[in-house]
Amino acid sequence: MFFINDLNISYPHAEVERVPVTMNFVYALFIPLGILILSNFIARSPAHKHEVTYLSFAIAVILTSFITDIVKNTVGRPRPDLIARCKPAPGTQPNTLVTIDVCTETNHHTLHDGWRSFPSGHSSFSFAGLGFLSIFLAGQLRVFRHAHGGRDLSRALLCLAP
């Protein structure tokens, strides 16, 4: 239940996302996957390493998305633009707790997505894909090994780039 005059959920609905879902897939899934594939081919890795690399990458991304959705559906908070997404029916009383029944929005996804702001799906998906790539590069470039003549800042910065 919510109040239609609650200022915390009365922000305007942004029709254009800063990072659209398709671009999030490009940045956090396809680019890291391409770098993983390229890295394995350049290193002439055996088939087993290809399999382990891509399988663990897929598990990281899928498991992160799954856990994020579970948390969103159990403890997620309403988005700041919930009222704009809801489009309450004219005559809805302010200062009265109302349910989703007062909403006139016909797009089911837009309305129900208004209840799922935390945690951010974009952020967790990006962290899974790009974080995996950073850790993979750190392992391949042996950033944490001290036996190879000390530390190399350029390799460490390369690993932090994603």
Q: What is the pLDDT of residues 9-57, one digit of tens each?
A: 888 888 777 888 899 999 999 999 999 999 999 999 999 999 999 999 9
Place of tokens 């935390």: 118
Backbone angles phi, psi at 98, to 5 degrees: -125, 165
**Whole-angstrom distance, CA of residue 46 vs CA of residue 52:** 10
Averaged pLDDT, 85-89? 89
Residue 10: which region, alpha, beta or left (left: phi > 0; alpha: psi -120 to 50)? alpha
* Per-position DSSP letters for 8-74, written without gaps between them: GG-PPP-SS-SS-HHHHHIIIIIHHHHHHHHHHHHTT--HHHHHHHHHHHHHHHHHHHHHHHHHHHH
Predicted TM-score (pTM) of the model is 0.78
CA count, 13 A, side-chain hemisphere, 124: 18
**Residue 85 pLDDT more than 80?**
yes
Of the pLDDT bands very low, low, confident and very high (cuts 50, 70, 90), residue 141 is confident
Q: What is the pLDDT of residue 124?
A: 93
Q: Which of 15-19, 79-83, 98-102, 143-147 has the lowest mean pLDDT?
A: 143-147
* Contact by Cβ (8 Å): 79, 116: yes
